[in-house]
Every structure is written in structure tokens, then in C-alpha cells.
């Protein structure tokens, strides 16, 4: 029985040969002349009847009209069994004297329940025969046999059987019945080999499981090495497959045996796929489409093996993946991948075991089950051990490299620590020197800062005095006008007084009254122009004094007009030939604004002075066709009051527009400007009044300053 099992299993897993046909016409009486060491399979001379009668067990029954049948065939290849509930098999055989009087053992590998009769006597039951499938119990290959003794002459073996219905759907090892006769000694040897084979399978399963755990730990340690994960999956599937074969000899039910064999075959295919994945990941090959093909082939094979797990459905995928593994190994060897030789030796050993197994099947070599177990173990264990050695070697090399780098890092750290200590000492000494130097430089900078502040105050005062000088020139011109009126009206008044005396002496009362009226008018004009001069002087004094910082209601139109005139006449006092067109556009509805009038006056005076100087410079360069013009406009906006000062001078170059509000920046020749006018104006407008001072200019055309004050 075991011999038949191993032959069929090896045949399905390792070869692509079509199962041989056994159904041949046999003689009526089969002669049994000798008994091989591993038993004799009774596969010839059987007769079949589909009826169920107890007298079919009688040895004298005439069965010459029964159909011939080979019960070793697969159930699905015996159409006469379709729909059969209970049938009978009969075999006539003759033994020679060498087999008589000896203790023999009957074993059966089957997918049915059976009762075996020898010469009309029931000698063995395998399972429970019943016409009702629910009450039927199918016997398997590993049921314990019974001992019997044959006498010389002819004998009849009759078998009553009931086929397991599932055997027609599944096409995996579903032999109807393979009865084996062996000696008691041969059975003991076979049983011992089965047990040892089971232990060997369990040992291989244990080794695979340990490798699975080992490489799972490697993967957890370094998840970037996915080859460890795939190899763990390969060894886990191999563990499952070998564990099933290790437990197979203990099963006594055919459905259980078929289920286990199906699961084992699926595990075998799955393990080869994961082995391919492990090698692809190990060598970093880019075979995306090929991997999709591999998994598709596995899925198809896993489904087909459930119903037809023969050489085509199981052997072809396994051999295909073995070829892929060989190709990957050769590819790695050609590319001189590190450690590829280890895997190549492992796969070469696996292929040798595979070739040995195929040779046993093809040449029908009679061998023991233990040897078959060793062949299977070698086929699957060699790649597992080889790849495990490779991955372990890689892990060891990586660990060695890490240790070397760690030692190097430690040396560098020690060296760096010494250097760091030296640097700290050097830095400490340098810090002391720097602190002394910084302290010395700080004292020097403090003195320089005090000097700078004093100088800045002097420059500001100089800017104010320069502004005051320009203002004084304008004021002097403005005062000259009312003083001329005062002097003229005073002279006229003296003459009128002389005439008044003459007319009074002459008694001309009417003339005296007329002259008195003229004197009264002259004195009024003298008083008017005297007050005008007084106001001008007061404004000059107010401009020269330090600002109090108090805001007051101010008419910006009047303020702008006054300082425009003062600036213009101040420039004309320096240059009598200078003339410019003054254009004013004052908003008549402009409200009074709460500002520091003295400071805003300084801002406007500075802007007017710059405007007149700009048009003067352009006039000096362009005499013909150029008319200097300075415009002043006021208007109310949504955000407050806007004062625009525009001139048609040369404009401000684009490169310096962002610098004109910086302190001490000036474009005037040395000695003619301090560079603080616009800077002070900017601070007065923005910081003291919360407004804005902006400029728009175009070279060769105009410059326009805008003063925005909140209203």
C-alpha cells in the first residue's frame, strides 16, 4: 500500500508523464509466484458486478460473465461506477508452495469503503460499507491490516465496496482500490519506514519553521530587506506542506487524506512562488510583469489542483518555477552578485534531488518510502538552507560593517572630543581676550556715539539755521515792502502837515478838514503795514524757536501760501535774476487741521526750497524754452488732507529715490547741504503727525511730493 502511495505521489509531483493504463484483459486465474519485499499489488484479473448480493462472496460463484475492471485506476476513469451505491469485485488467484503457511498482511489504498472476503470468509473491513452515503465511512491507506495465511491451490478474493461520492469530483489520488499483499516482516519494515519518514517530514517542517522565525526577526530588525519577509513566507508554506506529509501516515479516512494532499500541493506551489519573490527581492531584479504572471499562474494552479491535482496541474507549475529559479540564479551569477554562488550550489543540489526523484518514477525503480522522503526533503530543504545561509551571511556582513563603522565612529568621537576640549580651552582664552577687546571697543564706541549725537545735534541745528537763513532772506524782502509803505506814507504825511498849517493860517476850514482826512488815511495805512511787518517778525521768531510740540487749529491753505512766498522771495534775495511761475490750487472748503504749525511750516519750507532749487538747476542748464514752475495744491481726501508740491525740475534719478529720506543723504555739493531736510520732514509728518510723505518723479520732467495729514 505504502509503495503504491509513494509511487503515485511522486508521479503527481515530479513528472509530466501520463499515468499508464492498467485496464487490460487479464487471465481468469492470476498466478502469484513470489512476494516482493515491499508487497505485491493485485492489479490484474479483477471482475466487477454492480449488484449487491451476499452470495457474491462464495468461492464457487460463476463470475465469468462479469465485467473486467482494474480497481487501481482512478475513480473518474471508471464510468461503470457512476451512480453505483454498492458493488462487488472478485479475483481468482493461485499461489505456489513458497507462499503457503506464511503470515501475510493485506493492505488497501482506496477511496471507498470495503469488505474483503477470502474464500467466502470476511477477513478485513476498511471503513463502513452502506448504500446510504450519509452512513458510509470511507477507509484510507493507513488503516491497520489483519494477518491471514494462505493454503496451496486456488483462492477467490471478493470485495464488497461503496464508492465515496467525492472521488468523482476530485482527481487527486482517487484510486478506487489498490490491494497489496505483503509478508508480516515486509509490513513491519514498511511501517517502520513510514514512521521514520513521518519523523523526517516533521523534522524538515521544524527546520523550516525555525528558519521562518529567524528571518522574520531579521525582517523586523531591518524592514528594508524584504527578501527576509518573502523567504519567511516560503519556509512557512514549506512547514505547512511537510507537516501535512508528516501526519499523513496517521490518517485512516480517504476524504481526510485527499484534503491533506490537496492542501499540501497548494502549499508546495505557493512556497515556490514565494521563493521566486525572495530571489527577485534579494537580487533587486525589476520583473514587475513577470511577477504578475507568476502570481496568476499560482492562482490558476491552486484552483485546478483542487479538482485535478495531477502531473499537469501540479508538476508543470512546480517545474516552471524551478526553471525560473534556475534562470534567476544564472542571471545573478553572470552579473556577479555577492553571494550568488551559495544559492547556486543550493539550487544545484535541489535539482539533483529532483532529477533523482524523476528517475525513480520514470524507470520504475523499486525503492523504500524512507528514501522517497529523503528525496522530497532534499528538494525543498536545499534551497531553504542555501538562501538562509546567504541571508545570514548578508546579515553577518552588514553587522560586521556596522561594527567597523561603530568603532570608526567611536574613534572619531574620541578624537572629536579631544579636539572639542582643545577648542573649548582656546575659545575660553579667546573669549577673555574678546571681552577685554569688546569692553575697550565699547568705551570707544560710547564716546564715538556721544560725539556722533553731538555732531548730529549740531547738524540739525545747522540745518535749522540754514533754513532760518533762507527764511530770513525771504522775510527781509517781505518786511521791506511794508516798511516802504510806512516810509512813503510818513513822508506824505509830513508834507500834508505843512499844508495843513498853511491852510489853517489862511482860515480855509474845508481844506484843513480834507487834509486831516488824508492824514488819517495815511496813518491808518502806516498802522496796517506796521502790523504786517510785526506779524512777519513774529513768524520769524516763532520759526527760530524750538517747537513746543503743542498742536493747534491751523489753516493749511494760509500756511502753505505764506511759506511759498517766503521761500520764493528768499531765493530771489540771493539771485535777483531768478523768476518762476507760482501756481496754487487751494481747496476753498479745506477745514482747519489740528497740527503743530511751526513744524509743518518747516516741512513745507523745505519742500518749497528744494522745488525752487531744482527748477533753478534746470534753468541753469536749459536757458531756451524752459519756464520754471512750482505748483502747490491742497485737497481733502477720504483719509485726510493732502498737500502736493510739484516742480518741473530735472527730476530725481530712479537709483536714489529710496535713499532721499535717509539721514545725511544729499545730492548737493559738499558744504551746501547736510542731508537732514527731507529726513526731518519725514519724521515730522510720519512720527509726530501720523501721516505720510511720498514722492513721485520722472527724470527730465517733474518731481511731486505728497504730504498726507489725518484730518
pLDDT on residue 385 = 77
At residue 15 the predicted structure's pLDDT band, cuts being 50, 70 and 90, is: very low
pLDDT of residue 89: 94
Q: Which residue has the higher pLDDT, 11 or 507?
A: 507
**Mean pLDDT comparison of 20-24, 536-540, 652-656, highest-scoring range:** 652-656
Please state, in angstroms and rounded to a whole number, the distance separating the CA atoms of residues 27 and 45.
6
Return the pLDDT at 160. Answer: 93
Collapsed DSSP state (helix, strand, coil) of residue 13:
helix
Residues 432-460 have a mean pLDDT of 76
- Which pLDDT does position 334 carry in this prediction? 82
Q: Is 325:234 a contact under the CB 8 Å cutoff?
A: no
More confident residue, 254 or 230: 230
Confidence bin at 598 (pLDDT 50/70/90): confident
Are 114 and 177 in contact, with CB atoms under 8 Å apart? Answer: yes
Higher pLDDT, 668 or 143: 668
Give the confidence band of 696 by pLDDT, cuts at 50, 70, 90.
Answer: very high
CA separation for the pair 470, 457 (Å, rounded): 20
Paired with 696 in beta bridges are: 704
Please count the CA atoms within 13 angstroms of the CA of 381 that sit on its side-chain side: 19
Which one is predicted more confidently, 47 or 416? 47
**Residue 700 burial (10 A CB sphere; 0-12, 13-18, 19+):** exposed
At CA 205, angle to CA 201 and CA 210, rounded to 5?
A: 150
Q: What is the pLDDT of residue 8?
A: 32
For residue 190, the surrounding DSSP H or E stretch is helix 184-221
| Mean per-residue pLDDT of the chain | 76
In angstroms, the Cα distances linking 37 to 41, 183, 379, 496 are 12, 8, 27, 175
Contacts of 140 (CB under 8 A, 6+ apart): 109, 110, 126, 127, 251, 252, 253, 254, 256, 257
Which phi and psi angles does 570 have, rounded to 5°? -65, -40
pLDDT exceeds cutoff 90 at 487: no
Per-residue model confidence (pLDDT) at position 19: 35
pLDDT classification of 313: cutoffs 50, 70, 90:
low
SS (HEC) of 65-110: CCEEECCCCEHHHCHHHCCCCCEEEEEEEEECHHHCCCEEEEEEEE
Q: What is the pLDDT of residue 459?
A: 58
> What is the predicted pLDDT for the residue at 7?
31
Output the 3-class SS for 596-613: CHHHHHHHHHHHHHHHHH
Quote the cell numbers at residue 580: 518762476
At residue 150, the pLDDT reads: 78
Mean per-residue pLDDT, 671-697: 80
Identify the CA nearest to 118 among candidates 96, 141, 147. 147
- The mean pLDDT value for 547-569 works out to 84
Pairwise CA distance, residues 258 & 267, whole Å:
14
Is pLDDT at 214 greater than 90 in this prediction?
no
Res 90: pLDDT: 94
Q: What is the pLDDT of residues 147-162, one digit of tens each?
A: 777 777 888 999 999 8
Confidence class of residue 24 from pLDDT cuts 50, 70 and 90?
Answer: very low
- Residue 641: pLDDT band with limits 50, 70, 90: very high
pLDDT band at 295 (very low <50, low <70, confident <90, very high): confident
- Residue 301: partners with Cβ closer than 8 Å, 6 or more residues away: 269, 313, 314, 316, 317
pLDDT at 96: 79
Which three-class secondary structure state does DSSP give residue 173? coil
Q: Which residue has the cell 532749487?
A: 613
In this prediction, residue 16 has a pLDDT band, given cuts at 50, 70 and 90, of very low
Confidence of residue 389 (pLDDT cuts 50, 70, 90): confident
Q: Which residue carries 475513480 as its cell?
A: 75
The predicted structure's pLDDT at residue 464: 56
Amino acid at each position: 500500500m505504502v509503495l503504491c502511495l509513494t509511487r503515485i505521489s511522486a508521479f503527481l509531483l515530479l513528472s509530466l508523464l501520463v499515468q499508464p493504463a492498467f485496464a487490460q484483459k487479464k487471465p481468469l486465474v492470476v498466478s502469484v509466484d513470489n512476494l516482493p519485499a515491499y508487497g505485491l499489488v493485485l492489479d490484474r484479473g479483477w471482475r466487477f458486478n454492480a449488484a449487491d448480493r451476499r452470495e457474491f462472496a462464495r468461492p464457487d460463484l460463476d463470475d465469468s460473465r462479469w465485467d473486467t475492471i482494474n480497481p487501481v485506476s482512478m475513480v473518474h476513469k471508471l464510468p461503470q461506477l457512476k451512480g453505483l451505491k454498492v458493488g462487488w469485485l472478485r479475483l481468482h488467484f493461485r499461489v505456489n508452495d513458497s507462499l503457503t503457511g506464511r503470515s501475510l498482511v493485506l493492505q488497501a489504498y482506496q477511496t471507498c469503503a470495503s469488505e474483503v472476503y477470502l474464500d467466502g470468509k470476511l477477513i478485513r473491513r476498511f471503513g463502513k460499507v452502506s448504500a446510504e452515503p450519509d452512513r458510509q465511512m470511507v477507509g484510507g491507506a493507513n488503516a491497520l491490516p489483519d494477518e491471514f495465511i494462505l493454503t496451496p491451490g486456488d483462492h477467490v478474493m471478493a470485495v464488497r465496496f461503496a464508492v465515496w461520492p467525492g472521488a468523482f469530483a476530485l482527481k487527486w489520488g482517487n484510486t478506487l482500490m489498490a490491494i497489496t499483499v505483503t509478508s508480516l516482516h515486509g509490513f513491519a519494515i514498511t511501517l517502520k519506514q513510514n514512521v521514520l519518514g513521518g519523523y523526517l517530514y516533521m523534522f524538515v517542517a521544524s527546520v523550516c519553521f525555525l528558519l521562518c522565525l529567524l528571518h522574520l526577526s531579521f525582517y523586523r530588525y531591518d524592514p528594508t530587506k524584504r527578501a527576509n519577509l518573502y523567504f519567511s513566507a516560503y519556509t512557512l508554506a514549506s512547514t505547512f506542506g511537510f507537516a501535512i506529509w508528516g501526519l499523513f501516515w496517521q490518517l485512516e479516512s480517504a476524504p481526510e487524506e485527499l484534503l491533506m494532499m490537496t492542501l499540501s500541493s497548494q502549499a508546495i506551489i505557493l512556497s515556490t512562488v514565494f521563493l521566486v519573490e525572495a530571489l527577485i527581492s534579494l537580487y533587486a531584479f525589476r520583473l514587475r510583469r513577470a511577477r504578475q504572471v507568476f502570481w496568476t499562474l499560482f492562482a490558476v494552479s491552486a484552483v485546478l489542483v483542487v479538482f485535478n491535482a495531477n502531473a499537469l496541474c501540479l508538476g508543470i507549475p512546480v517545474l516552471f518555477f524551478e526553471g525560473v529559479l534556475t534562470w534567476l540564479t544564472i542571471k545573478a551569477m553572470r552579473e556577479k552578485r555577492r553571494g550568488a554562488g551559495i544559492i547556486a550550489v543550493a539550487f544545484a543540489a535541489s535539482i539533483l534531488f529532483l532529477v533523482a526523484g524523476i528517475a525513480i518514477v520514470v524507470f520504475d525503480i523499486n525503492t523504500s518510502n524512507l528514501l522517497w522522503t529523503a528525496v522530497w526533503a532534499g528538494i525543498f530543504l536545499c534551497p531553504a538552507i542555501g538562501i538562509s545561509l546567504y541571508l545570514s551571511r548578508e546579515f553577518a556582513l552588514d553587522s560586521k560593517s556596522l561594527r567597523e563603522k561603530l568603532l570608526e565612529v567611536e574613534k572619531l568621537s574620541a578624537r572629536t572630543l579631544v579636539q572639542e576640549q582643545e577648542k573649548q580651552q582656546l575659545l575660553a582664552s579667546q573669549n577673555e581676550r574678546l571681552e577685554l577687546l569688546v569692553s575697550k571697543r565699547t568705551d570707544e564706541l560710547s564716546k564715538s556715539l556721544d560725539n556722533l549725537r553731538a555732531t548730529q545735534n549740531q547738524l540739525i541745528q545747522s540745518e535749522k539755521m540754514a533754513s532760518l537763513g533762507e527764511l530770513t532772506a525771504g522775510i527781509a524782502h517781505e518786511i521791506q515792502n511794508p516798511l516802504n509803505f510806512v516810509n512813503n506814507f510818513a513822508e506824505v504825511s509830513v508834507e500834508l502837515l505843512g499844508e495843513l498849517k498853511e491852510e489853517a493860517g489862511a482860515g480855509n476850514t474845508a481844506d484843513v478838514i480834507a487834509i486831516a482826512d488824508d492824514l488819517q488815511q495815511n496813518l491808518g495805512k502806516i498802522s496796517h503795514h506796521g502790523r504786517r511787518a510785526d506779524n512777519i517778525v513774529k513768524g520769524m521768531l516763532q520759526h527760530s524757536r524750538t517747537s513746543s510740540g503743542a498742536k493747534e487749529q491751523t489753516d493749511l491753505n494760509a500756511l502753505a501760501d505764506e511759506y511759498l512766498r517766503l521761500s520764493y522771495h528768499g531765493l530771489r534775495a540771493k539771485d535777483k535774476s531768478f523768476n518762476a511761475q507760482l501756481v496754487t490750487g487751494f481747496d476753498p472748503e479745506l477745514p482747519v487741521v489740528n497740527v503743530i504749525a511751526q513744524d509743518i511750516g518747516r516741512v513745507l519750507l523745505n519742500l518749497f526750497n528744494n522745488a525752487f532749487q531744482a527748477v533753478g538747476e534746470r534753468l541753469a542748464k536749459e536757458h531756451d524754452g524752459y519756464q520754471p514752475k512750482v505748483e502747490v495744491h491742497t485737497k481733502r481726501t477720504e483719509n485726510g488732507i493732502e498737500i502736493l508740491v510739484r516742480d518741473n525740475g530735472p527730476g530725481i534719478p530712479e537709483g536714489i529715490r529710496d535713499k532721499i529720506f535717509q539721514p545725511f543723504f544729499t545730492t548737493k555739493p559738499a558744504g551746501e547741504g547736510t542731508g537732514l531736510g527731507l529726513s526731518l520732514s519725514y519724521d515730522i509728518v510720519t512720527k509726530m503727525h501720523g501721516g505720510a510723505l511720498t514722492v513721485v518723479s520722472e527724470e527730465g520732467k517733474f518731481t511731486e511730493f505728497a504730504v498726507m495729514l489725518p484730518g
